[in-house]
Amino acid sequence: MPNIIIDYEKCEGCGDCVETCPAEVLEMQDGKPVVVNIDECLECESCVEVCEQDAITLEED
């Protein structure tokens, strides 16, 4: 199972990762993206690629 790690010190809360995820794994809560549906993650890394702040990494457990 993948593990999505969000570095909230780098994250600016733009929401691009939430918008680009085809599986709706992320959602915005209090202005920041939160992993809400990790079981649906396709490991496509679209959230990683779209983040201009390099605040998201995808690791395999």
Residue range 3-45, pLDDT digits in tens: 999 999 999 999 999 999 999 999 999 999 999 999 999 999 9
- CA dihedral of residues 40, 15, 46, 43 (deg, nearest 10): -30
What is the number of residues in the chain?
61
Q: Tell me the pTM.
A: 0.92
Q: Which CATH code is given to the segment(s) 2-60?
A: 3.30.70.20
Q: In the chain, where are the structural domains located? A: 2-60
Query: Which residue has 């690629």 as its token pair?
Result: 49
| 26-29 and 2-6 beta bridge pairing | unpaired
Measured CA to CA, the distance from residue 1 to residue 10 in angstroms comes to 24
